[in-house]
Amino acid sequence: MEFQEMKEYIIEQALSKQLISATISQPRAKSNEIKRVKLKPIEIKNMYHIQIEYQYERVLKHENIPIENFAESLEKLFDQYRQMHADFITEKVQVQLSKKNKVMWKSEKTASSKTVNLSHNRKKNYLLDEDTPYPFLIRLGVQTAEGKVKKQKYDKFKQINRFVEFIDDALAYLPKGKPVRILDFGSGKSYLTFALYHYLKIEKGIDIRVTGLDLKKEVIEECAMIANDLGYDQLEFLVGDINDYNDETTVDMVVTLHACDVATDMALARAVKWGASVILSVPCCQHELNAQLNAPGLDIMLKHGLIKERFAALATDSIRAEILNLVGYEAQLVEFIDMENTPKNILIRAYRNGKKPTAEQFEKYNHFKQMLNANPFLENELKDYL
């Protein structure tokens, strides 16, 4: 079977709604961060779609494609990968492609026709189950006393679970054989601080000591009382500013959520200086670069205040991530579900790997910074590490 003939056959099977499931693997390029792709048909609002699940090393992302648009997506996947296992209603197919697209094809007819499950609205498998009572969620008003998620708190419940997913992803990077020290700057009402403590201490049995730090005295007092009521004896809450907290020499994980403007940079810089293995940061308002921007080539964009604000925020987080890459971290910008449903839903995730940056990395960073006329606060804070 020729390459084009194979593609046309697979596409025809998919478009005729014969697909049950498929796995596409073996990226052609080593630089491809998506290691595996899974396909399955689903029904959304009575419309047939193919769901594409992109499997990164530690993250899954989904895209739902209407059936009429699926051929183009599948064509692109065959250009990027060399292997496919597909399960259709009446046959199983295995495809292996050489570097020059020579096709090795294996097909096996099934004894009886299978059925396709188009269910999309099945209950999501959250790390914190929505039907299980959790004392901290009950105490924080997310669940009822019976352990049911309150309807008006469901967005918070989803956000908490999304954050727990990030914590679970980070487990491999936390030190073993010693207590894990964790600091949460700008902890606020501490929904996520309590979730972090519960997941690591109660569910995973890890020896941790967690400190939540915030400037609002009444909020800190309330959180401290809840921690005491729950018996969370390795969780403390303190009133204080990020810049003034000097009680540690080494910290394993630093969390910072919605710290305004350069307060996020202060927390990131402090995390690097402590040698934190894991950094999770959701930035808030970002004014520094907005005031510095001077890029004539971007005037068509930046003359609009709204666009300038959003561009500055995205560029700021890109700069932060790149600086972390330059000082020995693997940093990514990932989507985060925000409790307040605002556009500020980017999370900076960084794992310490100790790698030395290349000259090319520095050159690209400096070129980007100079193009924007940026003088990043975080770079100045970490100048001794760059």
- Say how far apart CA 213 and CA 185 lie, in whole Å: 5
- Say how far apart CA 71 and CA 53 lie, in whole Å: 16
pLDDT in tens, 303-329: 999 999 999 999 999 999 999 999 999
User: At 226, is the secondary structure helix, strand, or coil?
Assistant: helix
DSSP letter string, 261-288: THHHHHHHHHHHHHT-SEEEEEE----H
pLDDT in tens, 79-118: 999 999 999 998 999 999 998 899 999 998 876 666 676 6
Q: What is the CB neighbour count within 10 angstroms for residue 304?
A: 11
- Say how far apart CA 205 and CA 216 lie, in whole Å: 31
Q: Considering the chain, what percentage of its residues have pLDDT values greater than 70?
A: 94
CB–CB of 292/372 below 8 Å? yes
- Say how far apart CA 68 and CA 169 lie, in whole Å: 35
The yes-or-no verdict on residue 296 having pLDDT over 50 is yes
Q: How confident is the model at residue 130 (pLDDT cuts 50, 70, 90)?
A: confident
User: What pLDDT sits at residue 259?
Assistant: 77
pLDDT in tens, 188-240: 889 999 999 999 999 999 999 999 999 899 999 999 999 999 999 999 999 98
Please name which of 88, 83, 40, 38 lies closest in space to residue 60, comparing C-alpha atoms.
38
- Say how far apart CA 170 and CA 177 lie, in whole Å: 16
Q: Which residues have a Cβ under 8 Å from the Cβ of 259 and sit 6 or more positions away?
A: 185, 186, 242, 266, 267, 281, 283, 284
User: What pLDDT sits at residue 121?
Assistant: 47
Q: Which domains does the chain have, with CATH numbers?
A: 3-109 (no CATH), 135-381 (3.40.50.150)
Largest CA distance in the chain: 71
Name the burial class of residue 47, with classes exposed (0-12), middle (13-18) and buried (19+) by CB atoms within 10 angstroms of its CB: exposed
CB–CB of 19/116 below 8 Å? yes
The yes-or-no verdict on residue 298 having pLDDT over 70 is yes
What's the sign of the alpha-carbon dihedral 5, 7, 9, 11? Answer: negative
The yes-or-no verdict on residue 125 having pLDDT over 70 is no
Indicate the average pLDDT of the chain.
89
CB–CB of 111/91 below 8 Å? no
Count the residues in the chain: 386
What's the sign of the alpha-carbon dihedral 14, 18, 20, 24? Answer: negative
- Say how far apart CA 3 and CA 14 lie, in whole Å: 17
Locus of tokens 């009575």: 46
Instruction: Average the pLDDT over 265-274 and give the result.
Output: 94
H or E stretch covering 223: helix 217-230
- Say how far apart CA 156 and CA 159 lie, in whole Å: 5
Helices (H) and strands (E) in the chain, counts: 12, 14
Instruction: Average the pLDDT over 22-27 and give the result.
Output: 93
88-97, 121-130, 160-169: which range is least confident on average? Answer: 121-130
Instruction: Average the pLDDT over 48-68 and give the result.
Output: 85
Angle 190-191-197 from CA coordinates, rounded to 5°: 85
Q: What is the pTM of this model?
A: 0.69
Strands of 91-97's sheet, edge to edge? 60-66, 47-55, 36-44, 19-27, 81-88, 91-97, 103-109
